[in-house]
Structure formats: C-alpha cells, structure tokens
Amino acid sequence: MPIIEVRDLVKSYNGLEAVRGVSFEIEEGETFGFLGPNGAGKTTTISILCTLLSPTSGTAVVNGYDCMKDPKGVRSSIGLVFQEVTLDNELTAYENLKFHCYLYNMQRSVAEKRIDEMLEVVGLGPRRNDFVKGFSGGMKRRLEIARGLLHRPKVLFLDEPTLGLDPQTRSHVWHFIEELKKREGSTVFMTTHYMDEAEICDRIAIIDRGRIIDCRSPEELKSSLRGDTVYLETDDDQAALKELSEKLGLEARRIEGGGLALIVESGEKVIPRIFSGLSTGVRSVNLKRPSLDDVFLHLTGREIRDVEGSGTDRPVRGFRR
C-alpha cells in the first residue's frame, strides 16, 4: 500500500485554479520530488496533504488517514519543514525542540533522548542552549529539519527547504537531509525549483500551471531527451530557425527571451555543421549534456528560471526577519 495516495486533487482560489487535477502515489521509503516554478501549485498541494488547506475536490490519503476526514491522524504521521522559518527566536534550540515534543505528546524521557540525538545529527549539539535569534540561516534550517523528525514521522515534508540560502549552505543542508534519510528511513516528499536538488529524488513529478506533466526517475527523465542540447544565440532567430530546418533538417525551438535550443543526439558533431551551414550570424554556441533543466524546458517550452524571474519572494524573504 502506498504511503501517500492522491487522486484528482483540485484547489481553486476565487475561481482561479492553483491545482488542476493532480494524481500520484508515493511508496514507503521513497524520496519524491515536486519540481516546478513558483506558482506551479507545489505549496498548495503540500498544504492540502498537511491538512492546512482543504481541496476543492479530489482525495488525499497519508499513511492510511484521509486528509479531510482524519486530519489528526495525518498530523501525527507527518513532519514538516516549511518554506519560511517557523522557529521561535526568543527560545533556545533546545527549548524549540522541547516545545515540539510536548505538542506531539512525547514522553519526557523519550523526548530528552531524542532531542540530544537529533541535535547531534544536525551538528547543533554545542549550540543547544543558545537563542535561535543568533543562528545563521543554515543553522535555523538544520534545526527545523531536526524538529521535523523528532517525533519519528512516517513522512517528512520539505517545502523548498533551501529557499534563500547561499549555495554552500544549500549543499550542507542537503547533506544532512540525505544522512537523516539513511538513519531514519522515513519517506521524504520535497518541493524545489532547483534542478540539481531534485536529482537526489527517487522519482520526480514535474509540475507546471497546476498539472503534473511527467513523473519518472531523474535518469528516465533525462534519457527521455535522447541527447544533448545545443543553445544558439543568433542575429536573427526567425531566419536561423528556418535555415536549420530547411538546409540541415534540424528541428530547433525558440526560447522565451531570445535564442534557440536544439536537442540532438551528439552535440559535438552537429555544431560544426551548424557553423558551416548557416548564413545567419551565430553569436554564441553552448552545448549542454541533459540535465533536469532541459527536461523542464523540453516539457514546457520554458526554462524554470524564466518563470522564476518575476518571483519576488526570495530576496524579500531574506529581509523579513
């Protein structure tokens, strides 16, 4: 039996559909990722699964509990790390964790042992009695992840767990998540819009505009592209597109914001042909081995960062506290 089962989930806000008929299943022990730009419906779906929102229609079952009919059963089965920091700055690391243990009705002796253990794992043992307000962004994240796992949840939800962190801290946090997953063996459901982060998942659902477009392992997704991507900047995209197709028999597609992209079997061999065959000026060429970025581009015709460009939440979040 899958640990999470979602059927035809729909959520609309004032007639606007944020999630439009999403279905998927997650097996126990799996790391499952939701990959998509801001506003794709990732957080909405997670909020429904965590019983913070009720869906307009459809069903969601977590660990055998229905999210609408038995929210308490769901809540005791899950751990959560939100996009925003949800720690109490006025309390110490230890006090934040203790608050959580009492809220989840853990026995005192079990709680103390578990707190020590988790603080050690995320490397905050020496900072246990320090106030959270003095912590860096990465330390806060680690503490939240430790907190999310304190009550040994069946499923750990990570909603953009590295949002607003610098690249070094990001990889540090991922290192901890992978370590913890090995130790605790829990199922992980994460959302991200960073492609490299999605690659640690067993399976990835690519979500865009409220729909799942594809759902497979990262390897399968990448191999579905059958080859490399060549990016071209030309003097005249329209003319180059025509020439590529008529003279060389290559199907290229335009990228939002200018430029062309071609998916070819072997990039090294195609690039010389492009140079000799095109009369339109080529300003730059870029060859890329398949990555999840390309998968997203291939499936949606947009690059994930194009969509992200308008999103203002990241820098603003940084100044919020």
Partner 1 sequence: MISFRAVYVIVLREFKRFFRQRGRLLTTIARPLLWLFIVGSGLTKIVEPGSKGSYMQFLLPGVVGMTILFSSIFSTISVVWDREFGFLREMLVAPVSRVTIVIGKLLSGTSLSIFQGMALLVVAPLVGLSVGAVKLVVMFFLIALVSFSLTAFGLFIAARLTSLEGFNVIMNFIVLPMFFLSGALYPVEALPGPLRWLTYINPLSYGVDSFKHVLLPEGARLGAEFSMTLDVAVVCAFAVVMTLLSAWAFERR
Residue ranges in contact with partner 1 by CB under 8 A: 50-52, 72, 75-76, 78, 80, 82, 84-91, 95, 98-100, 102-105, 321
Shortest distance (Å) from residue 102 CB to partner 1? 4
> Is the Cβ of residue 137 or residue 301 nearer to partner 1 in the bound state?
137
The CA distances from residue 161 to 167, 169, 177, 209, in Å, are: 13, 11, 10, 21
> Is the Cβ of residue 147 or residue 203 nearer to partner 1 in the bound state?
147
Shortest distance (Å) from residue 15 CB to partner 1? 22
Shortest distance (Å) from residue 146 CB to partner 1? 13
Give 305's contacts (C-beta < 8 A, 6+ positions apart). Answer: none
> Is the Cβ of residue 13 or residue 102 nearer to partner 1 in the bound state?
102
> Is the Cβ of residue 112 or residue 293 nearer to partner 1 in the bound state?
112
Q: Which among 83, 87, 84, 19 has a CA at the least distance from the CA of 48?
A: 19
214-226 burial code (b ≥16 CB/10 A, e <16): bbeebeebbeebe
Distance between CA 148 and CA 153 in Å, rounded? Answer: 8
Distance between CA 33 and CA 311 in Å, rounded? Answer: 21
> Is the Cβ of residue 55 or residue 290 nearer to partner 1 in the bound state?
55
Shortest distance (Å) from residue 245 CB to partner 1? 52
**Contact call for residues 261 and 234 (beta carbons, < 8 A):** no
Shortest distance (Å) from residue 84 CB to partner 1? 5
